[in-house]
Structure 1
Amino acid sequence: MPPAASVCAPETLIILKNRSDFLKAARARRQGTSSMMVQARKRAADEADGIRVGFTCSKKVGNAVARNRAKRRLREAARAVLPTQGRDGWDYVLIGRADVTASRPFDALLDDLRYALRKLNSSGK
């Protein structure tokens, strides 16, 4: 039986909280999948270390319950995939999609994130 808590070390991923960080990521590369949009940007050398990640869902996703469920699923997918396939020194923003993020099978959600990271990491240095 897997543990109830995430097995990922808490210091592995740093959560984005400032609007300016989200706006910088919005101007960078993006890759859409059927269940989410992933934005990624390489930070400047003088910025923070590690992998940083942010999550957002607009009101198009649904009411507060649906948005929070979608964000919880995105957070868990990020905890599972980003420590191994994310790049150090990069910011990632995961954006939920209406009716899909909350209902897509979790294995497919993980595959979508892996696919987006492969495309984003191969397109930039």
Structure 2
Amino acid sequence: MPARKPSCTAAKPGRLKRRPEFLRVASSGRKAAVGGVVLQALARADTEPVRLGFTVTKKVGNAVVRNRTRRRLKEAARLLLAERQVVGADLVLIGRDSTRARKFTALQGDIRRALERTGV
């Protein structure tokens, strides 16, 4: 019989996908630019799991480069949120040109510091 994976107690983060959601976080939330990432955070008045949005502008490069940058942000956020429980917030991570060349551990540190600066 195959080994079972241990159940994870942390709730899976939701996603921000619609433009009005991103605009609400940008207009009402707090912003922190650290190293290779910009974080916009908006606290909600609930205890639901964190909701994440990712964006990379065309200034960063073509579609292949932007998608690679977005995937790096997603994985760094996934690993960080697995060790640190965040609830009641909407977060938007914005990739910069330096995000793709940044060492992965440094990228995780950038996100961690940005979370601290925004108070999440």
Relative to the length of structure 1, the TM-score reads 0.81
Measured in 2, the distance between the counterparts of 1:72 and 1:11 equals 20
Instruction: Compute the displacement of 1:44 (Å).
Output: 3.7
Q: Deviations over 1:1-45 (max 9, x none)?
A: xxxxxxx78952111111111011101101001101000001244
- Name 1:108's counterpart in structure 2: 106
Q: Which moved more, 1:79-88 or 1:89-98?
A: 79-88
Give the aligned CA root-mean-square deviation in angstroms: 2.2
Measured in 1, the distance between the counterparts of 2:53 and 2:115 equals 15
Contact kept, 8 Å, 1:32 with 1:116, in 2: the verdict is yes
Measured in 2, the distance between the counterparts of 1:106 and 1:13 equals 21
Measured in 2, the distance between the counterparts of 1:87 and 1:9 equals 13
Measured in 2, the distance between the counterparts of 1:10 and 1:77 equals 16
Measured in 2, the distance between the counterparts of 1:112 and 1:24 equals 23
Match for 1:65: what amino acid? V
Match for 2:13: what amino acid? L
Instruction: Compute the displacement of 1:120 (Å).
Output: 1.0
- Name 1:23's counterpart in structure 2: 23
Q: Judging changes above 3 Å, is the alpha-carbon distance between structure 1 residues 11 and 87 closer, same or farther for their aligned structure 2 residues?
A: closer
Count how many residue pairs are aligned between Structure 1 and Structure 2.
113
Q: Judging changes above 3 Å, is the alpha-carbon distance between structure 1 residues 10 and 56 closer, same or farther for their aligned structure 2 residues?
A: farther
- Name 2:5's counterpart in structure 1: none
Instruction: Compute the displacement of 1:85 (Å).
Output: 3.2
SS in 2 for 1:56: strand
- Name 1:36's counterpart in structure 2: 37
Match for 1:20: what amino acid? P
> Where in structure 1 are there 5+ consecutive unaligned residues?
1-7
* 4+ aligned runs moved over 6 Å, structure 1: none
Instruction: Compute the displacement of 1:121 (Å).
Output: 1.3
Higher alpha-carbon Rg? 2
- Name 1:91's counterpart in structure 2: 90
